[in-house]
Amino acid sequence: MCGSNWRALAELTEYEEALNNWAKINDAIPDNPDYLIPEAQCLFRIGEFRQAETAAVHVLDLVPENLKALNLLEDIAEYSNNPERAVKALNKLVERTDNKVFRNRLYLRMSNLQKDLSAQDPVKHPIADAVTSARKALDDDPRYVSGRLYLGELYIVARRYGDAEEIFKSVLKDFNPNSQRAKIGLIEYYLATARFEDCERMILDNYRNFDPSDPYRHMYMARLDFARGQFFEAMRELDMLEADGLRGAVFTTLYHGLSTSEWDPVLSTRRFREHILALKRSGYKFISADRIPAYFKAHKAPELPAGKPWLYRMFRSLEYDFTGKETPTLPDLSMYSPDKVACITFDDALRASIRLGTPVAEEFQIRGYPCNANAPYRLCFLSTICR
Does 187 have pLDDT greater than 90? yes
Q: Which long-range contacts (CB under 8 A, 24 or more apart) does 158-166 make?
A: 158/127, 158/128, 158/131, 159/192, 160/131, 161/189, 161/192, 161/193, 164/188, 164/189, 165/189
**104 and 151 Cβ atoms separated by less than 8 Å:** no
Domain annotation covers residue 304: no
The mean pLDDT of the chain is 83
Categorize the per-residue pLDDT at 369 as very low, low, confident or very high, splitting at 50, 70 and 90.
Answer: very low
The reply to whether 72 falls in a domain is no
Buried b (16+ CB within 10 A) or exposed e, 345-360: ebbeebebbeebbbeb
d(CA 234, CA 220): 9
Q: How far apart (Å, rounded) are the C-alpha atoms in residues 36 and 159? A: 46
Look up the domain containing 291 and give its range: 250-299+339-387
d(CA 45, CA 262): 7
Residue 365, sorted as left (phi over 0), alpha (psi -120 to 50) or beta, turns out to be left
Inter-residue contact 16 to 22 (CB < 8 Å) = no
Q: Residue 345 and residue 371: Cα distance in Å, rounded?
A: 18
Cis? peptide before 370, omega within 30° of 0: yes
CA distance 89 to 95: 10
The residues, any chain, with a CB within 8 Å of residue 171's CB and separated by 6 or more, are 145, 148, 149, 152, 179, 181, 182
The model carries a pTM of 0.73
> What are 24-66's pLDDT values in tens digits?
888 899 999 989 998 998 888 888 888 999 999 999 899 987 8
Tally of CB atoms within 10 A around 386: 3
Residue 61 lies in a domain: no
Structural domain includes residue 354: yes
Task: Please state the domain count of the chain.
Answer: 1
CATH code: domain of residue 289: 3.20.20.370
What is the C-alpha to C-alpha distance for residues 251 and 289, in angstroms, rounded to an integer? Answer: 11
Rg (CA), the chain: 26
> In this predicted structure, which of 15-29, 159-173, 193-207, 356-370 has the lowest mean pLDDT?
356-370
Residues 6+ apart with CB under 8 A from 326: 320
Integer distance in angstroms from the first to the last C-alpha of the chain?
37
Residue 152 banded pLDDT, cuts 50, 70, 90: very high
pLDDT at 124: 95
Q: HEC string of 160-209?
A: CHHHHHHHHHHHHHHCCCCCHHHHHHHHHHHHHCCCHHHHHHHHHHHHHH
pLDDT digits (tens, 9 = 90+) for 282-307: 999 998 888 888 888 887 766 655 55
Question: Taking the mean position of all CA atoms in its chain, how far away is CA 230?
Answer: 33
In the beta sheet, which residues pair with residue 380? Answer: 345
Task: Report yes or no on 233 lying in a domain.
Answer: no
Task: Decide which of 286 and 369 is more confident.
Answer: 286
Q: How high is the pLDDT of residue 287?
A: 87
Q: How confident is the model at residue 385 (pLDDT cuts 50, 70, 90)?
A: very low
DSSP 335: G
What pLDDT score was predicted for residue 370?
43
Other C-beta atoms within 10 Å of 29: how many? 12
Answer whether residue 367 is part of any domain: yes
In tens, the pLDDT along 204-263 reads 998 877 788 888 899 999 999 999 999 989 988 988 888 887 778 899 998 988 888 887
213 burial (CB, 10 Å; 0-12 / 13-18 / 19+) is exposed
Measured CA to CA, the distance from residue 112 to residue 114 in angstroms comes to: 5
Q: How far is CA 5 from the centre of its chain?
A: 33
Residue 352 included in any domain:
yes
Residue 283 inside a domain? The answer is yes
Strands (E) across the chain are located at 251-255, 258-259, 267-268, 285-286, 341-346, 380-381
**CA–CA dist 215, 241 (Å, integer):** 6
Residue 348 pLDDT grade (very low, low, confident, very high; cuts 50, 70, 90): confident
